[in-house]
Amino acid sequence: MADEAPALEASADALDFGEVPVGDSSDPLPVTFTNISGVDVDVDAAGGGVGAPFVGGQSCAQVTLAPGESCDFSFRFVPTGLGVATGLSSFRLNGVDYSVALSGTGVSALEASADALDFGEVPVGDSSDPLPVTFTNISGVDVDVDAAGGGVGAPFVGGQSCAQVTLAPGESCDFSFRFVPTGLGVATGLSSFRLNGVDYSVALSGTGVSALEASADALDFGEVPVGDSSDPLPVTFTNISGVDVDVDAAGGGVGAPFVGGQSCAQVTLAPGESCDFSFRFVPTGLGVATGLSSFRLNGVDYSVALSGTGVSALEASADALDFGEVPVGDSSDPLPVTFTNISGVDVDVDAAGGGVGAPFVGGQSCAQVTLAPGESCDFSFRFVPTGLGVATGLSSFRLNGVDYSVALSGTGVAVDPTDPTDPTDPTDPTDPTDPTDPTDPTDPTDPTDPTDPTDPTDPTDPTDPTDPTDPTDPTDPTDPTDPTDPTDPTDPTDPTDPTDPTDPTDPTDPTDPTDPTDPTDPTDPTDPTDPTDPTDPTDPTDQTDPTIPADPTDPTDPTDPTDPTDPTIPADPSEPGQPVDVDGEAPAVPRAVATGDGLIQGGINNTAGLLGLLTSVLAAGAVVVIRRRRSSGSVR
């Protein structure tokens, strides 16, 4: 009879429990056996045991399974150590052999947060903040922690909170470490320990740096005048740690041309405080200088590279001079190259050289002088061209050991024919030494030159017809020898001047008192209008002429006994024109004189007219004076 197929079908022949914390237990995993027949099956089970770290159990022994019903062989993984564990459970059901392969990985019940710690940079002598490795109970049961080990060597320090504690699920404890560097550079360490039989290790690392942080490791002083000193430049050391630092300083010296000093020796710096190593550059010569200062602070070696450039204390204003265009034979204005003391100290100037060849000329004020800061001296040059075209030159000299050179250039040009300052310009109208210059005293063709002997307005020009002071000028009023000058009022010797009113010897001068033929000369003995001419028998108005029979208008004639108007002659009652009254006496009343140009117009020759006139005048209350005048024995 053929073998019958098994009535019980197994759900699996292997079980993997995965990772399970050491000391913990996995969830149970079953292998299910199902009655796949059509009849009830009485199960006869034998075996099924399994070794640690697995635990097994079953529900199949001595059971009856109806069709479709099942029973189980169940297993758990309870690791006792780390790593993979395997097992095999074998058993017999109703005469059929079965086996189930079991596997799982034992892991720690305490899960570590890290297996390495890096503390970074920590100042030497300082301590880092503590960094922990946390162990958490990741199992589902309380874990009694058994801890052993965990020590660590310098420069690391460790401690822990895990020994002899019970951690409920999710609780944790720590192994904690600090880095306390004793020197510069990277430091490493390893801490090993055992928790609940599981070995752990933590790699430790950190970098020791100085507790005093330097502000620089190199100083450049730039350009400094030779003999002067730069401003001090510091390298500052600051305590960047969190604790006070007692500074132990050694070294720091430096050779010339650098000078150093420091304030760090034997000081205590609180966190954030600082001290300095300070340096100055005092150049003794031109060019770049370098130096190195090395020192130790709290066991840490430092070095500072120093550099600077020595330059001349005398700064030149220029290294080239261009004089432009200068006429040949002339000289340019001097152009200077000024040297100024740009240092902060007095500079004794030692000058050598500075000569220059033709057509340039040089001089200087720098030799053996002392220049205070900001003072200056000069090298001065002129261009004196001897020919046309461009000329160049070079003046080289040394000041306080420093070589200088000045490039010189200029252009010689021809004399400008219209240059007002050119003494040889024949066409320059304003050149004072030009022979054709209108202001040139030797210019024979200059019509406006007042000192030119041929100038028509030149008072010393004997041929100048329009010169008012020229002895031969006919219009010169002051020319005593000019016989043709009609307007010369002071020419006493001009016998031909018919219009000279003041010429006493001019026979035709009407105002000449000595001119016997001058009919209008009031002092001329033959002048009928001359009132002072005692010999003029024809002058009817001569008041002092005693030979005139009766001058009716002469009030001052003391010798005219018949002058009726002369106040010095006694009144003549019979004189016509004398005031009279009825008694024939002269009244002491004002007199009115009737003359030919007043009351009586023209001559009155008839008695009736005269009586009528007198009647009218007397009726007006006037006194009538009738002046008698002798003229050919008649009265008018």
Would residue 512 count as lying in a domain? no
Rounded CA-CA distance 160/131 in Å is 11
Residue 242, pLDDT score: 83
Would residue 552 count as lying in a domain? no
Rounded CA-CA distance 102/82 in Å is 16
The DSSP letter of residue 334 is P
Q: Could you give the angle at the alpha carbon of 173 between the alpha carbons of 171 and 177, nearest 5°?
A: 150
Rounded CA-CA distance 118/138 in Å is 25
Domains identified in the chain, total number: 5
The tens digit of pLDDT for each residue in 501-538 reads: 665 665 665 665 665 665 565 665 665 665 666 666 66
Residue 492, pLDDT score: 61
The answer on 216 and 306 residing in a single domain is: yes
- Determine contact, residues 159/172, Cβ cutoff 8 Å: no
- Identify the domain boundary among 268, 287, 311: 311
CA neighbor of 408 nearest in space, from 330, 329, 350, 334: 334
- Determine contact, residues 127/179, Cβ cutoff 8 Å: yes
- Determine contact, residues 371/227, Cβ cutoff 8 Å: no
At position 253, the amino acid (one-letter code) is G
Rounded CA-CA distance 626/617 in Å is 12
249 beta partners: 297
Would residue 118 count as lying in a domain? yes
The answer on 147 and 114 residing in a single domain is: yes
The answer on 599 and 583 residing in a single domain is: yes
Residue 359: asked if its preceding bond is cis (omega within 30°), the reply is: yes
CA 269 to chain centre: 44
- Determine contact, residues 14/30, Cβ cutoff 8 Å: no
Residue 625, pLDDT score: 47
The answer on 197 and 182 residing in a single domain is: yes
Residue 546: asked if its preceding bond is cis (omega within 30°), the reply is: no
The answer on 368 and 297 residing in a single domain is: no
Residues of the chain with pLDDT under 50: 1-2, 573, 575-605, 607, 610, 617, 624-636
pTM of the model: 0.44
The tens digit of pLDDT for each residue in 385-412 reads: 999 999 999 999 988 878 899 999 999 9
Would residue 501 count as lying in a domain? no
**Between the CA of residue 506 and those of 18, 154, 199, 330, 485, what are the distances in Å?**
169, 149, 164, 65, 14
Residue reference for tokens 């001047």 = 497
The answer on 127 and 94 residing in a single domain is: no
Torsions phi, psi of 107, nearest 5?
Answer: -125, 165
The answer on 12 and 101 residing in a single domain is: yes
The tens digit of pLDDT for each residue in 71-107 reads: 999 999 999 888 999 999 999 999 899 999 999 999 8
The answer on 197 and 218 residing in a single domain is: no
In 3-state terms, what secondary structure has residue 87?
strand
The answer on 171 and 101 residing in a single domain is: no
Q: Sort 391 into a burial class: Cβ within 10 Å, 0-12 / 13-18 / 19+.
A: buried
- Determine contact, residues 9/34, Cβ cutoff 8 Å: yes
The answer on 28 and 68 residing in a single domain is: yes
Domain with 618 in it: 561-636
Q: Are strands 70-77 and 83-93 parallel, antiparallel or unpaired?
A: unpaired
Would residue 454 count as lying in a domain? no
Neighbours of 271 (CB within 10 A): 14
The answer on 237 and 178 residing in a single domain is: no
**Terminus-to-terminus CA distance in the chain, angstroms?**
229
- Identify the domain boundary among 386, 413, 440: 413
The 3-class SS string of 164-179 reads CEEECCCCEEEEEEEE
Rounded CA-CA distance 242/253 in Å is 30
Would residue 144 count as lying in a domain? yes
- Identify the domain boundary among 294, 311, 328: 311
The answer on 45 and 70 residing in a single domain is: yes
Task: State the CATH number of the domain containing residue 133.
Answer: 2.60.40.10
Residue 379, pLDDT score: 94
Would residue 381 count as lying in a domain? yes
Would residue 28 count as lying in a domain? yes
